[in-house]
Amino acid sequence: MKIAVISDTHSNTAAIQTALRLIEPYNVELILHCGDIEDAGTVPLFPRNTHFVFGNCDTDRAGIQAAVDGIGATLHEPFGSLDLDGKAIAFLHGDDKRLLRDLEQSDAFDFIFHGHTHQAEQRCGGRTRIINPGALFRARPKTFVVVDLKSGKVESVTVE
């Protein structure tokens, strides 16, 4: 199973549209959005197989929740937890450092995805791979990741 992970889109419609076009050839089954959507107006750009979490810049939470419901997608709070293809996955924005640390130290997840810093990063903590896909706003380069859960391969994709 392949998934795409994006974060920190901050209403950047052009970058979102480009990223979604770049995701298409990968035939992902699911998209994870690690927060900082920023406004409800960009949510309808995403397909219904998207799972969202709030970020610190998502102030219109009711509007974003309604937009997510409107496209038939899923919003998790304060973090998402999914079992996909035999892998335990958590995803969150990352601004709550205590929550991020607690999830990392729990040793309960194969992958933890987070954003917030606008910096792509990958590291390991015990059995857990902690991955920040980068950002689609105020980042150079703008990036997201595609993850093949079966093989564990993580590919960073640049959005021009």
* CATH number of the CATH domain containing 31: 3.60.21.10
Q: Which domain holds residue 60?
A: 2-159
Tens digits of residue pLDDT in 28-83: 999 999 999 999 999 999 999 999 999 999 999 999 999 999 999 999 999 999 99
Q: How far apart are CA 25 and CA 12, in angstroms?
A: 22
Given a cut of 90, whether residue 112 has pLDDT beyond it is yes
CA dihedral 85, 25, 132, 92 (to 10 degrees): -60
| SS3 (DSSP) at 8 | coil
pLDDT of residue 125: 86
What's the pTM? 0.97
DSSP-derived letter for residue 55 is -
Paired sense of beta strands 128-132 and 121-125, if any: antiparallel
Backbone angles phi, psi at 22, to 5 degrees: -70, -30
Number of domains, the chain: 1
Which residues, 6+ apart, have CB-to-CB distance to 140 below 8 Å? none
